[in-house]
Amino acid sequence: MLALLPAAGCAQRFILKMSSEDSSSVTLFEGGSKDTEEDDRSTPLEDPERIARVAAFFKKKDDEFQPVRGDSPRMPRCTVVFRKDTEERDRFWIDPDHIYMRTPEGAYYVCKMTPRERNELLQIFRSKTNYKSPE
């Protein structure tokens, strides 16, 4: 579950508290292009080490999230969803320059992301190594 807590101090700042660290899976959903016949793609990860890497990526950005002013943003077609068994825990939307999230109360938050950071995140999902092997 996501929780945002106001931090002490003069300026109102919010700190992201995620439950992603104990998730049993994380999935990247990428919407296909509306201009082509490209299908949507989903990439699930169940390997605890890779889930931890994705959670660590978001955790290092946790103090950069700021409230979205005005209307809720139009959500990008790239989504990262953390789940514990079948329960959705955390959901993030990724565009080339930002990460968006929504609290359980319906408030939207955003933080900036560099192209290098975006590539780092996507590479965790696209890497062909460290997939959970069938037992």
For residue 86, the one-letter residue type is T
DSSP notation for 78-126: EEEEEEETTEEEEEEEE-SSEEEEE-TTS-EEEEE--HHHHHHHHHHHH
pLDDT of residue 58: 92
Which residue ranges make up each domain of the chain? 14-31+42-126
67 three-class SS: strand
Per-residue pLDDT of the chain (135 residues; tens, 9 = 90+): 444 554 444 344 455 555 566 789 999 998 866 666 666 889 999 999 999 999 999 999 988 999 988 877 777 788 999 888 888 888 899 988 999 988 777 788 999 999 999 999 999 998 875 455 444
pLDDT of residue 21: 66
pLDDT of residue 127: 83
pLDDT of residue 8: 43
Whole-prediction pTM: 0.75
Question: What phi and psi values does residue 105 have, to the nearest 5 degrees?
Answer: -80, -10
